Structure 1
Amino acid sequence: MKADIEKSYLRNVSNGRCRDTARKYLRALKAKGRKKSTREHNAKVLRDLSNYIDKPFEEADKNDLENFFADLQLAESTKNVYKGVVKTFYKWLEGNDETYPLKVRWILVRRIGRNLQSTDLLEPVEVKAMINACLNARNRAIVATLYESGLRLGEFLCLKIEDVKFKGGWASIVLPKDATNLKTGRRVITIVDSVPYLQSWIEEHPFGEDPKSPLWIPIQGGAKKSKLEISAFGRLIKKIVADAGIRKDVTPHLFRHTSATEKARKGWNEALMRQYFGWSKRSTMPSVYVHLAKADTENKVLEDAGLKEKENAKERTLAPKQCPRCELQNEATGLFCSRCGSVLGIEEATEAEKLIRIIEDEESMNRLAEILAERVMQKVGDSS
């Protein structure tokens, strides 16, 4: 812990006393059994706080902390994480790890999920836009699988190839024993719509023949047989979101919020939700998503009573497309069958005809080559 975390974060702490205090705190967190990723987050926050206040942590007052948070140029969700770290740190530093000192009692840490509005969630069209913005099979599989499964990030990144069991038109994901955030024991979840994306990625996976290989690996600058790190994954999601033209504050956990809300809208009861998402019997999380889905229930009652015009049911965002020739289940965003090359539908056929006309025109092909070259240069970081 000391070598990795201190080398990455604490070496950039300019104040010596702050650096020593941060080291002691990180060791205390390790003694409590906190995950390495949690300790890394704490180290990063303490580094930023120290360099901002430019004085020992003990000498900072409420005004210093207010200015620190006011000047943070971060998304609200990330700023909320910073608040939680700082508040807990000062409880350890000045409150004997029991009470919050006055300088941080004013800090309100938002309970993620409980303040979400339905408009904050991802819409089907946004998920498809993200998939279409991806330039490789790995990233398309990441978006599709994270959206359907609703896995915690720690669970998602710990997956190995052997944890995915394909069973015809569906698959099961067996969460591994070493999943970082496996809070309620091992469990198995079922997926359907993301299966074609997962199959495409595993077929291209540089270590696809090794069932013990991490499912999600770095591929930029040569594939590595190690799992994607949380920080790299966060940057990847932000780039995909930006490339898709989405302006929402999209974090990896928002996929879980969206997945849970959609299942609540479909009528899943609390027992099913707890089993699928890994919540304990005491967790109040199912009620959060039932609340977000409440508006849908209200609309249904009004529609049945004739007091509101019925809306068209939302499409299955990533429902696989069946090839009319060989009957293979293909990716929802695909144009052609990955097995026989047939066009997958009427809209796809129209797109195919357009492509054929472009290919037959030399001037159009030259221009297309220029556009593609420019786009690849702009999005080279998409494969990070």
Structure 2
Amino acid sequence: MERAEKELSSELYEDLVRLYRHCVVRGLSPDTLYTYLNRSLLFLNYVQKLGKSLDDLELDDVEEYLSSISNPLSRKVYVRAIRCFAKANIKEHPVFYRLSRQIKYPKEKVKLPELPSSMDVNRLIQCARQPYKSIIVMLYEGGLRRCEALSLKYGDVEDWDIGYRVRVKYSKSLPRTVFVIRYAYVLREWLQQHRSKEREDWLFYNTFGEPIRPSALTMYIHRLCKRIGLNPKLLLPHNLRHLRATEMYKERKFTELLLMKYFGWKTRKMIDVYAKITVDDLEETVRELYGIKKEERKTLFCPKCGLRIEFSAQYCPRCGTKLDTEELREKALREEERFIKLLRLLEKKIRDNPELLSKILDLVKADLNSQQST
């Protein structure tokens, strides 16, 4: 506002102040408030150079200014800011307000993002270090925006019987609750080594104990992707949210209302975008045409706690036990071989020294007696 006071005439500056008050009363976020004030200031500078008052402007004047902005998305933001500015000054400039209603939003083509594969995301998670490993989990499985993940507090994460509930309080859209199940073991690892475990402390912090900056997170993911041979342009933080939304849409287990609630969307506009990305229905029809059945997912059971797991996972989301059946079988065989070797060694010792057996029996008997007495 100090810059505006220097650049604008007193009348236009008062108009900008009214926009500021209007935005504050409406409860707009700081980012939106800054955007509206900045774009309106640039527009008012243009009006001041024309030497016209706001009520003397014509539609051609406004459209000429907007035509200098090449990016349709940026132009849309300018139109929104100018319209909000006109609404805030409707009493002082009624003619300009009526003019602002004639300004049309530019037509924008929805560009479908190119997304990474879930295998690439899994590799990224496995290669990352804490706390970035857990942040990437929040971006992907939780479907959080970058700013939402970095704004989390320790108390926002609650233990759940099959994973964790995460309450997103600070959001540019709607507060909500998301869930971390598949990668619960990653988040559990970070929670156990958290510095303070106080509810109001930042969940994620850097080596200096300060909140991680959004740019630092993006740079870390970019460098890690280059180091492990992944495409950093595909694995942008927001693309992980896009990927998660696409996967959940393809599953057809969430209604549109539930998807809007999970990802904090106020309208169903984004659902239409993911409907264009998803080609599952077409793929299924082609499979049926050729009589090819889709492979059914294998159901896993945790060998330790018995949890039924109906998705691909490396660790049990409840207890963190590794679920690689081949590795577990090999581990069990190694334990069995070790036990057999111990029995053979004991048998040899007893043969060489028969008195050893009576000593062992006396120790077992004494241990049983002590247990019965307690």
Partners of 1:331 and 1:29 in 2: how far apart?
53
**Number of the residue aligned with 1:16:** 8
Q: How does 1:321-340 map to 2 (within 5 A)?
A: 321-322=314-315, 328-329=320-321
> Contact 2:8/2:48 (CA < 8 Å) preserved in 1?
no
Q: Give the superposition deviation at 1:49.
A: 6.7
> Which of 191, 194, 201 is matched with 1:205 structurally?
194
Partners of 1:24 and 1:126 in 2: how far apart?
49
Are residues 105 and 272 of structure 1, via their aligned partners in 2, closer, same or farther at CA, if it must alter by over 3 Å?
Answer: closer
Q: How does 1:197-276 map to 2 (within 5 A)?
A: 197-207=186-196, 209-217=197-205, 219=206, 222-224=208-210, 232-233=213-214, 235-243=215-223, 244-245=225-226, 246=231, 248=233, 252-270=237-255, 272-276=258-262
Partners of 1:312 and 1:268 in 2: how far apart?
16
**Number of the residue aligned with 2:178:** 189
> Contact 1:13/1:50 (CA < 8 Å) preserved in 2?
no
Identify unmatched segments of 5+ residues in structure 2. Answer: 91-96, 298-308, 325-330, 332-374
> Contact 2:141/2:179 (CA < 8 Å) preserved in 1?
no
| 2:159 counterpart of 1:166 | yes
Q: When the two structures are superposed, what TM-score results if normalisation uses the length of structure 1? A: 0.58
| 2:277 counterpart of 1:277 | no
> Contact 2:315/2:322 (CA < 8 Å) preserved in 1?
yes
Partners of 2:320 and 2:193 in 1: how far apart?
18
Q: What is the letter of the counterpart of residue 170 of structure 1?
A: G
Identical columns (%): 17
- For the residue of structure 2 that corresponds to 1:214, the secondary structure is coil
- For the residue of structure 1 that corresponds to 2:178, the secondary structure is strand
Partners of 2:218 and 2:46 in 1: how far apart?
25
Partners of 1:130 and 1:44 in 2: how far apart?
38
Q: Give the superposition deviation at 1:256.
A: 3.0
Q: How does 1:114-133 map to 2 (within 5 A)?
A: 115-117=110-112, 120-128=114-122, 130-131=124-125
**Number of the residue aligned with 1:139:** 132
Q: Give the superposition deviation at 1:259.
A: 1.4
Partners of 1:156 and 1:66 in 2: how far apart?
37
Partners of 1:250 and 1:11 in 2: how far apart?
38
| 2:295 counterpart of 1:302 | no
| 2:101 counterpart of 1:107 | no
Partners of 1:331 and 1:22 in 2: how far apart?
61
Report which of the two structures shows the higher radius of gyration computed on alpha carbons: 2
Per-residue CA distance 1:206-260 (angstroms, 9 max, x = gap): 33x212223234x26x213xx56xxx42x24542453225364776544333212
- For the residue of structure 2 that corresponds to 1:205, the secondary structure is coil
Per-residue CA distance 1:62-116 (angstroms, 9 max, x = gap): 334332x23x7xxxxxx72x33331122224457566563895363466xxxx25
Q: What is the letter of the counterpart of residue 239 of structure 1?
A: M
Q: How does 1:44-83 map to 2 (within 5 A)?
A: 44-45=38-39, 55=49, 61-67=62-68, 69-70=69-70, 80=73, 82-83=74-75
Q: What is the letter of the counterpart of residue 36 of structure 1?
A: P
> Which of 143, 146, 151 is matched with 2:144 structurally?
151
Q: What is the letter of the counterpart of residue 273 of structure 1?
A: L
> Contact 2:40/2:78 (CA < 8 Å) preserved in 1?
yes
Per-residue CA distance 1:111-149 (angstroms, 9 max, x = gap): xxxx253x5334324434654675x41222112211111
> Contact 2:143/2:263 (CA < 8 Å) preserved in 1?
yes
**Number of the residue aligned with 2:30:** 36
Q: Give the superposition deviation at 1:38.
A: 2.0
Are residues 53 and 200 of structure 1, via their aligned partners in 2, closer, same or farther at CA, if it must alter by over 3 Å?
Answer: farther
> Contact 1:161/1:213 (CA < 8 Å) preserved in 2?
yes
Q: Give the superposition deviation at 1:35.
A: 1.8
Identify unmatched segments of 5+ residues in structure 1. Answer: 1-5, 73-78, 333-341, 343-384
Partners of 2:139 and 2:145 in 1: how far apart?
9
- Report the number of matched residues: 289
